[in-house]
A and B are shown apart, each in its own frame.
Chain A
Amino acid sequence: MTKEYRYIGKATPRKDARDIITGRAQYIDDMKLPGMLYGKVLGSPYSHARIKSIDTSRAMAQPGVKAVLTYKNAPDWKLGMPPHKPVLDSTVRFVGDVVALVAADTADIARGALRLIDVEYEPLPAVYDAETAIQPDSPQLYPDLPGNLLPRGTYGIGPKALQEIVIGDVAKGFEEADLIVEGECAYDNIPNPLPPEPPGVIASWDGPDKLTLWTASQSAGANKSNIQNIMGRIDVRVIGTQCGGSYGSKNANQMPVAYATALARATNRPVKLYYTKEEHFDTFSLRLGSRIRASIGIKKDGTVTAVAGEWIIDTGASSEVVPWQVAVGCGEAQLMLRCPNWNIQPRAVCTNRNPSGVVRGFGGQELKSSLIPILSIAMEKIDIDPVEFFKKNFVKPGDGYYWRDGVWVEFRGPDYSKAIEKGAEVFGWKDKWRGWGKPTAACGTKRRGIGVGIHGNADVGEDESEAWVRLDPDGRAVVFANISESGPSQRSSVCKMAAEVLNLPLESVDITPPDTLVNPFEFGLVGSRGTYILGAAVIEAAEDVKRQLFELAAPLLGAGPEDLETEDASVYHKAHPEKRLSWRRVIGKTRTCIGRGRTEHDFSLPNMMTIFAEVEVDIETGKTDLLRVVATTDCGQIIDPLVLQGQLQGSIGSAGIDTALAEETILDNRNGHILNGNMIDYKWRTFVDLPEFQTVILETPFPSHRFHAIGVGEIAPAPGPSAVLMAVYNAIGQRIMSYPLTPDKILKALDKE
């Protein structure tokens, strides 16, 4: 630690802690509005079908039913990016695709009415595999998406949006290589981020162009921009509720927002649409599927000379933001791999399974989990230790990369080798590494193996944030920032930053509720951007208001503003601390004082996470236990050690590390039904199965803001799956190039089926 702070770097109680542990925190389903109706969705039993006829009269006749919407009477909004999925359509494209919406006095009545909607379907041929979907004779999902391909595009990313990686000359690169390897790896088990709280929103119209939306989201602001993209420039106010987990998936809540909003408009009443867990599984979004087929040119010293191949992305029946995920993923590949010659061609393909949305890892986890195993083949061929390879090839000072917007960025961060080395030391890598495909230990039928994965993301500095800080004469400060709380404690973290700048007791700093009516612009809590971009805006606002405070106090204290300091809501002369005035005297008891802050994007400080994993495979049963994880990063400055610890440990869940071993959404390939769409059959880690978990966190000051910190939470899971895949390979000596590593797959690899 470089500096002793009052709050920064120390564990402090979360601002909402008391609400959470007393049950007072208001989640979306804890809310009721006067006159509120309950919305329910009818899902399709077919993965691809045309609706031949749909009759809602029996449902409408039901007492308490206030509206039934189908493609015939729904608004003509289109979801997805580019907009391609009609909110309700005459064609359904996955099992669970919403066919009709009902609003009724109670959820029970709405549910009952669903059963009274008579639908006749004409089943259509369906396709569940992305590579099959792009074949010429495959079933077509959308008339305007030939070949089931989602077009590349800019979609607000900027005119040069990074939609492929084409750098240098791969032919020349392959010539320079000592060795060329080819490989294919699929990370297409489409895991579910599965927040404990199902998705839900409440929509209420006040006239045709004025909408209020309560949303369980990680980003109230993203819900607003999303609504305006879909419904035009209506007047919309978005209020965030306490959010029971998101991991990306509830960032914009596209589908539930559209459904609730449509029902609220049809009934002119507030409508709550809150999924059951089954609906959460059946109709909500999943992670992208990813498959890479690539050739790698490598030199004996571990220098990579060329990477060429294709990246097939399975978006499911529609995609919320795939162009952004491609852009970020393509940038992230360059952070992990310093290589002068690239040609990676992404293709985003629609298939007849659940839509894909935002999930922590955002394109990059998908890409890394499929690319690192191919790189591993090259590493093995030249017999380089993967830790040495990653140290050598992760972006370094003096390097640059094309980021998301297609703009070249020069790296301003530290040499992350130091952190990687420290992590390896804590993990005991050198002692355990026996070479590629070799177990660390063998005892009876048990084989232990180790693996490592790496990931970095420059979105820690993405897009813009604004914040204000208001000082009240009674010695309190209020941060105005549109921050939702879905778990990462960002609301509390910015309060700590403001309290630190203003040298105020933390209890005296409060933050406005997430509400677009009250707060200045905020892009949202994505890409680990909260600590840097949002933090910087709050810091700037706090510094601005402090400067105003000193200007007001200077004449009263007979000093220059630069001579002053503030402490616990009084201003004093640094040289004569006895000369002191309360804020009340300085500001005036009927005034407040407001400072403003705004941060522009800065993509030059990517974060880094390395995950070391040790597994034990039983070669008789194929069962794999995750024994130990060491998560390693350098975040510049810890804001709160317990919060950070929780975020890093979170790498196991939320479609993270466990997607390598157990987590998957299993589709019945005959009809597209999800076979494990419930909390018993979908595998998740329990308290009795915890691996040993250690964190290694360096604090090399970053040139970000006053506290030299950057965020790392979002990327924590991303290096995990490939680390575990590598560990299993080393344990059993057989390469498996797909996830998850279920016992049957392992036995098959060992020829023991």
Chain B
Amino acid sequence: MPTDIDWNSSTREPIEKSYITLTVNGEPHRLGIGSQQDEIAPSHTLAYTLRESLGFTGTKIGCDHGACGACTVIMDGEAVQSCSILTIECDGKSILTIEGLEVNGQLHPLQQAFIDHTAFQCGFCTPGIIMSTKALLDANPSPTEDDIKQELAGHFCRCISHYLVIKAVMAAAGRER
């Protein structure tokens, strides 16, 4: 969004810029703002844009309400719930989704650890959980089990893969017991 708009002011300036740029998994995307089908409407969430406009369907929507963590992506280094952010607020941001973890066919160590520990059942919560733990490991390469639990407190895993997830993350951090 243009920087000269103050959304809180009662007299909004006219929108000067009709697009935003969003970098997803290293690739810049220019997205028009408007009400046409291929445009970003002001009501679109980042989760919706990633999935429906850009095709990154690896990001899941569970509750669409900020309560389950399924939609977690990394934005400028931080794990965020993409269902609770409007796309128009993301101009200039850099997003990493689950699709961006694999580089040249090489899995990220977390992904490999999830495979090795079968740290999922239905897998619907998995992309969100992996993105949160990626952000955790980037910030804290040797977390304790407790750190992992705290980081994942907002993630709903109905299959109860929690125990195996914790093992996988510890293994990825090289702290397998």
Contact = CB atoms under 8 A, between A and B. Distances in A.
Contacts of B65: 277, 678-680
A247 B164 contact: no
Contacts of A688: 149-150, 153
B56 interface: yes
Interface in A683-703: 684-688, 690, 693
A645 to B, nearest CB: 7
Interface stretch (B4-12, B16-24, B84-92, B155-163): B155-163
A196 B71 CA distance: 11
A106 B149 contact: no
Task: State the majority secondary structure of interface residues on B.
Answer: loop
Given A23-B57, A688-B150, A649 B158 contact: no
Given A106-B37, A277-B62, A680 B159 contact: no
Given A642-B164, A650-B160, A652-B160, A196 B59 contact: no
**Considering residues A25, A276, A687, which has the most beta carbons from chain B within 10 angstroms of its beta carbon?**
A687
Interface string A28-50: 01100000000000000000000
Contacts of A193: 158
Interface string B56-87: 11111111110110100000000000000000
Interface centre among B121, B122, B125 (most CB of A within 10 A): B122
Contact of A196 (B37, B70, B115, B149): B70
Nearest to B148: A687
B111 A22 contact: yes
A575 interface: no
B64 A653 contact: no
Contacts of A13: 115-116, 118
Contact of B123 (A16, A647, A686): A16
B15 interface: no
Contacts of B123: 16, 20-21, 25, 242, 244, 487
A736 to B, nearest CB: 25
Given A13-B115, A642-B117, A243 B57 contact: no
Contacts of A246: 122
B159 A654 contact: yes
B40 interface: no
A680 B164 CA distance: 24
A22 B160 contact: no
B152 interface: yes
Given A646-B161, A653-B158, A687-B155, A21 B120 contact: yes
Contact of B118 (A194, A247, A486, A489): A489
Contacts of A486: 122
Nearest to A650: B160
B134 to A, nearest CB: 11
B130 A27 contact: no
Taking chain A's interface residues, is the majority helix, strand, or loop, or is none over half, making it mixed?
A: loop
Interface string B38-59: 0000000000000100001111
B118 A653 contact: no
A30 B123 CA distance: 14
B99 to A, nearest CB: 5
A14 interface: yes
A488 interface: yes
Interface string A628-672: 000000000000101101110111111000000000000000000
Contacts of B130: 21
Contact of A245 (B51, B64, B158, B166): B158
Contacts of B70: 196
A678 B56 CA distance: 26
User: How extensive is the interface on chain A, given as a class?
Assistant: 35 or more
A13 B117 CA distance: 8
Nearest to A274: B61
Given A196-B68, A649-B162, A652-B160, A22 B121 contact: no
A384 to B, nearest CB: 32
Given A21-B126, A196-B70, A687-B152, A650 B163 contact: no
Contacts of B166: 687
A640 B116 CA distance: 12
B13 interface: no
B115 A17 contact: yes
B126 A20 contact: yes
B64 A687 contact: no
B148 A488 contact: no
A195 B160 contact: no
A652 B98 CA distance: 27
B65 to A, nearest CB: 6
Contacts of A687: 148-150, 152-153, 155, 162, 166
B164 A646 contact: yes
Nearest to B41: A108
A679 B107 contact: no
A434 to B, nearest CB: 29
B63 A245 contact: no
Given A23-B58, A196-B125, A690 B163 contact: yes
Nearest to B120: A20
B138 interface: no
A276 B61 CA distance: 9
A173 to B, nearest CB: 40
A645 B167 CA distance: 13
A325 B122 CA distance: 25
A160 interface: no
A277 B122 contact: no
Contacts of A52: none
B159 A650 contact: yes
A18 interface: yes
A196 B63 CA distance: 8
Given A23-B98, A106-B37, A688-B149, A29 B159 contact: no
A245 B62 CA distance: 11
Given A20-B126, A687-B148, A194 B158 contact: yes
A312 to B, nearest CB: 28
A687 B154 CA distance: 8
B159 to A, nearest CB: 5
A277 B70 CA distance: 12
Interface string A452-489: 00000000000000000000000000000000001111
Contacts of A643: 118
A197 interface: yes
B57 A196 contact: no
A24 interface: yes
B158 A647 contact: no
Contact of A654 (B56, B120, B155, B158): B158
Interface of B: 37, 51, 56-65, 67-68, 70, 97-99, 101-102, 107, 111, 114-118, 120-127, 130, 148-150, 152-164, 166
12 contacts: A17-B114, A21-B98, A21-B114, A22-B98, A26-B57, A244-B123, A277-B65, A649-B160, A653-B159, A679-B67, A688-B149, A688-B153
Across chains A and B, which 7 residue pairs bring their CB atoms closest together, nearest first?
Answer: A23-B58, A244-B124, A487-B121, A20-B123, A487-B122, A23-B98, A679-B67
